[in-house]
Amino acid sequence: MSTSNAAVNGEPVEFTYGNNTLTWTKRQGTNEGVEHKGTILESDVLAIIPTSTTSPAYTVYTLPRLSTPDNTALPVPDVSFHTTQIISAPPAFISSHLLSSSTPHLSLPADDIYVVISSKSGTGKAGAFFEDVLKPALKVLGLGEDGYQVVLTTSHESITELAEGTLREKAGRGVRQTVILLSGDGGVVELLNGIVGAEGSR
């Protein structure tokens, strides 16, 4: 049930919440150009962050699948990065996804967090995914562009060289590291094979 000031992106709405879905309908007399009904699937929610300390206002960050026939037929459908401003949404929906603390593996020094972009492997969409989805998502989670290193692969050996060199050396010294790998299955194998046997790896 919604309160009288419930809103989505500035438009008055009525909220309902059930079956892992937040649904809203536009109140009568509001802007006719606004879609009458909207939904947010809980499975699409990345995080919810308060936008005010004095009123129940939040920004909901989601990664919904692109709703095109070609996309939904893919083994791993493409997603988009989306923001929604909500006021007075059901507390149960908010509390389930409220970002209350930093993520440990993203709280490391910038020199120890790597985003590896293998633009020619897999579906060839790694670069676009980084720019359109991952970069803004990391920012939401408190990690700006200066908070990590971006590694662009130049050959099939690039991931192996990184793993056998920098990553293995640091792991051998017990340094905690985070690697976000944007590649096909082969890149995962190369990364793991490159660091296997490194003492103290995490």
Domain co-membership, 93 together with 108: no
Domain co-membership, 141 together with 174: yes
Domain that holds residue 127: 104-195
Taking the C-alpha atoms of residue 134 and residue 80, their distance in angstroms, rounded to an integer, is 10
Is the pLDDT at 201 greater than 70? The verdict is no
CB 61 within 8 A of CB 140: yes
Domain co-membership, 35 together with 86: yes
Residue 148, token pair as written in the block: 């990590």
Domain boundary among 97, 131, 156: 97
Q: What is the pLDDT of residues 1-53, one digit of tens each?
A: 455 689 999 899 999 999 999 999 987 655 554 457 899 999 999 999 998 76
> Measured over all CA atoms, what is the biggest interatomic distance in the chain, rounded to whole angstroms?
66
Taking the C-alpha atoms of residue 115 and residue 14, their distance in angstroms, rounded to an integer, is 41
CB 193 within 8 A of CB 169: no
Burial of 54: CB neighbours in 10 Å, binned 0-12, 13-18, 19+: exposed
CB 89 within 8 A of CB 15: yes
Q: What is the pLDDT of residues 106-154, one digit of tens each?
A: 999 999 999 999 977 766 788 989 999 999 999 998 899 999 999 999 8
- Residue 200 in any domain: the answer is no
The confidence score (pLDDT) of residue 198 equals: 44
Entry field: residues in the chain: 202
Number of domains forming the structure of the chain: 2
- Residue 32 in any domain: the answer is yes
Domain boundary among 81, 97, 113: 97
Taking the C-alpha atoms of residue 195 and residue 189, their distance in angstroms, rounded to an integer, is 10
Domain co-membership, 185 together with 113: yes
| Stated pTM of the model | 0.79
89 φ/ψ sector (left φ>0, alpha ψ -120 to 50, else beta): beta
Domain co-membership, 182 together with 127: yes
